[in-house]
Amino acid sequence: MSVFVRTIQTSVPSTVLEQPATRDRFAGQPSVSRLGERLLRAAFDQSGIDQRHTVIDGFDMTRGDGGNSGDFYDRDSGTLLVPGTRVRNELYTQEATKLYIDAARQALEADEGIGPDDITHVVTVSCTGFYQPGPDYMLVRQLGLDPRVQRYHLGFMGCYASFPALRAARSFCEADPDAVVLVVSAELCTLHVRSSNDPDQIIASSVFADGAAAAIVSGTPGAGAGLRLEAFDTALTPVGEADMAWTIGDEGFEMVLSSYVPKIIGEHIHDALGPLFSRQAALAGRPYKDVEYWAVHPGGRSILDKVESNLELRPDQLTPSREILRRYGNMSSATILFILKNILDDSSAESEEQVCAMAFGPGLTVESALMTKLSPDKAGTR
């Protein structure tokens, strides 16, 4: 049977980080060496990002004042502080819940055919914090879902985790034609950003951001633009285990994002996509650019550049990915849903169009999917 993403809605915190001002604040930290400053300015300036969002009120580098800045930022000296993991996770518990609820509520309000009573499964996704009762529980309570709804949480998987979530949602719907799955990802990456001279940490500081996205998945399409889920695939590159990693330290979660990651992706992307494309005979032997829409997780601008050049895509085919990177930064697992929403909001397609979506995470893991975008006049007839 066919399974559909009926709607995708997004939510971001109100505090905006303008990239130039944020760069200057990090570069001006007393612990940053001369080499560290050069690396930092280069990373920020080449990121492809104009602005990002954060839940840390006082982290607004253009103002340097506000609510919870005391643990993270000393506004008198301009110093970025280093709170412990407990402080960071307590703020995650408070602020992630708000984003989960807001994105999910928007999704329910956007889908006229689905109400809270219709949701049978909840799948939540995050790698930037933990608490219990968790976000799956909070969604049930605060949105008035049936307390018997089946709940699942995918934690600490990294930037690719929305793919397993959508794959699980499709499996639930295939097993039960009446299933309606609410998938919600919320990531508060800026809680773990810190000043450093380490190149990996500098890269992380230049790209990571906060945001949430929610999707409703069922065996029937919605009335608006949607996606038919066609195929999923998972691949592990033969190298890169140490180049992208995510661990928990005493001063927050510690991200390793090596400058070698784009090169690794470029060398192995054909092998990673081959099995996915082989599942559709119509795609065999055709240029990758024949798939009209590409939703590629922007771990950074250099990753998008490698994907575009190695797959010989047209520049406009990665416009949705570059636009989300420019406006929101890298929100880990939520980012791919922002990109898919951008594609759904594009009203230029008059008929069914193919979408290839892809994300990269620790391991180095490559998750990919083929989907079909359905325009509003087509969605309700499938």
Here the CATH number for the domain that contains residue 306 is 3.40.47.10
CB-based contact 304:322 (threshold 8 Å) = yes
In a domain, 35, yes or no: no
Categorize the per-residue pLDDT at 63 as very low, low, confident or very high, splitting at 50, 70 and 90: very low
Report the alpha-carbon distance of residue 203 to residue 200 in Å, rounded: 5
Is residue 64 pLDDT above 50, yes or no?
A: no
* pLDDT at residue 61 tops 50: no
Clarify whether 159 is annotated catalytic: yes
Compare 255 and 92 and report the one with higher pLDDT: 92
Whole-angstrom distance, CA of residue 28 vs CA of residue 26: 5
Task: State the DSSP code for 152.
Answer: E
Give the model's pLDDT for residue 78.
83
Number of domains in the chain: 1
- Is the pLDDT score of 236 beyond 50? yes
For residue 217, CA distances in Å to 80, 143, 167, 179, 297 come to: 41, 17, 10, 8, 21
Which range has the top average pLDDT, 228-232, 274-278, 378-382?
A: 228-232
Could you tell me if residue 29 is inside a domain?
A: no
pLDDT at 71: 86
Q: Which residue has the tokens 């969604």?
A: 139
Is 255 within a domain? yes
Helices (H), the chain: 19-27, 34-45, 85-110, 135-143, 162-175, 199-207, 261-278, 301-310, 319-328, 335-345, 376-379
pLDDT of residue 352: 86
Q: Give me the mean pLDDT over the 88-116 stretch.
A: 97
Residue indicated by tokens 């050049």: 309
Among residues 117, 166, 123, the alpha carbon closest in space to that of 4 is found at 166
The pLDDT of 101-127, averaged and rounded, is 97
Looking at the domain assignment, is residue 312 inside a domain? yes
Q: Is 153 domain-assigned? A: no
60 pLDDT higher than 60: no
User: Average per-residue pLDDT in the chain?
Assistant: 92
User: Average of pLDDT values for 8-21?
Assistant: 96
State the pTM of this model. 0.95
Q: What is the domain range of residue 312?
A: 226-379
Query: Does residue 106 lie in a domain region?
Result: no
In a domain, 276, yes or no: yes
Residue 265 lies in a domain: yes
Q: How far apart are CA 214 and CA 116, in angstroms?
A: 14
Mode of pairing for the β-strands spanning 121-126 and 150-155 = parallel
pLDDT at site 349: 58
> According to the model, what pLDDT value does residue 382 have?
43
Name the band, by pLDDT with cuts 50, 70 and 90, for residue 69. Answer: low
The active-site residue, picked from 159, 173, 189, 356, is: 159
Report the share of the chain in percent with pLDDT over 90. Answer: 80
How many Å apart are CA 235 and CA 256, to the nearest integer?
Answer: 20
